[in-house]
Amino acid sequence: IAEHADLGDFKTLEQFILETQSEYEHSSGSFSRLLRDMSVAAKIVNRDMRRAGLLDIYGQTGITNVQGEVQKKMDALAHKEFVLALRRGGECCLIGSEEHAEAIPIDASSESDGHYIVLMDPLDGSSNIDVNVSVGTIFSIYRIPDDVPPEEATLDDALQPGTDQVAAGYIVYGSSTMLVYTTGHGVNGFTLDPSIGEFLLSHRNLQTPDRGSICSINSGNYHAFDQGLRDYLNWLQEYDENDPNRPAKTRYIGSFVSDFHRNMLMGGIYMYPSTQGNPDGKLRLMYEANPMAFLIEQAGGKATNGKTRIMELEPESLHQRTPLFIGSPDMVDRAHAFLQGNAPQQ
Ligand code: P6P
């Protein structure tokens, strides 16, 4: 049988990391182990996520997190699993999490250089958990400045612009569980085969279409939108016999990771602008907008705050929010044209 087996493209995440990272990082392998640690936590969260209803861990801890949102048990569990995996791995020295007001120092293990910082939203879209809608984990990885010993790393060392990220990725716990990440050399997606507990390469070198027909936005905030954005949304809904992408389809799951993932694959734009309830936008810069901006740019797309490239924004705090326009490049450009009042006539 062996000589006839179709080798196909069977490649585990670990094999892929070993093959690709050795080209990029100095020989320490520390970064590769960090990615492995993240994938281990992802498998544990996935396991708990798939059993949540049975283990009665839906529902709430009653704790209110720094966002003022009541923490769901799965939120807290996901946060704990990622922190534990990173502590065990010892490759990072500082964690920033949506679920924790302050940065969390981690004792880097003696045998690693531990120069990495992980910023994460352990479980984004958690309001969907109890209604069994897809949710996801988002992470962003930086190196601490070379002159900072790991044990002295502070939050200031984490507040670097998105352009300084060394890696970014997400796990989407959907109809299947996928881990998608970039280290600045393209975007690759891995689908979990639960029967063998391995993430297998399923989406090599993802590229997002230049334009698409999907618009993801909470139209319930229409009353608060600038006129330019209203004009863009109205333009998207107009029929144009010469434009296969209009009228656009509205797809808004209420779970950023899922909306982002679908739009990256099919083409589309996700927008969370300034609203009455969230005048600075709702998405957080450091562990939602920046990592997804890194990914979408590596996939050929764009991410801005309506004016400025997300990854060039100078961070001021761990949990700061930003308006976000992210997805197919032509759609982000078109949104900008409307926002700046020079809407194209056609
Ligand atoms: P709204 C989830 O809380 C989240 O941060 C994103 O995942 C999602 O796209 C957005 O908020 C939904 O917010 O205000 O439209 O319900």
Backbone angles phi, psi at 24, to 5 degrees: -105, -40
| % of the chain residues with pLDDT over 90 | 75
User: Residue 24: is its pLDDT beyond 60?
Assistant: yes
Q: 195 CB contacts (<8 Å, ≥6 apart)?
A: none
How far, in Å, is the centroid of ligand 1 from the Cα of 10? 35
How far, in Å, is the centroid of ligand 1 from the Cα of 306? 18
- How much is the average pLDDT of 44-58? 77
**Ligand 1 within 6 A of 278 CB?**
no
> How large is the ipTM?
0.98
Strands 214-216 and 249-250: parallel
DSSP 186-246: -EEEEEEETTTTEEEEEE-S----S--SEEE--GGGGGGS-HHHHHHHHHHHS--TT-TT-
Q: Residues within the annotated binding site for Mg(2+)? A: 98, 121, 123-124, 288
Residue nearest to atom 14 of ligand 1 (CA): 218
Res. 129 pLDDT band, cuts 50 70 90:
confident
Q: Residues within the annotated binding site? A: 98, 121, 123-127, 218, 252, 282, 288
- How much is the average pLDDT of 39-44? 96
Q: What is the mean pLDDT of the chain?
A: 91
The pick from 128, 129, 218 for probing ligand 1's pocket by mutation, whose C-beta has the most ligand atoms within 8 angstroms, reads: 218
pTM of the model: 0.93
Q: 240 CB contacts (<8 Å, ≥6 apart)?
A: 246
pLDDT at position 57: 62
**Ligand 1 within 6 A of 251 CB?**
no
The string of pLDDT tens digits covering residues 240-281 is 999 999 999 999 999 999 999 999 999 999 999 999 999 999
The string of pLDDT tens digits covering residues 106-125 is 976 555 668 999 999 999 98
Residue type at 243? D
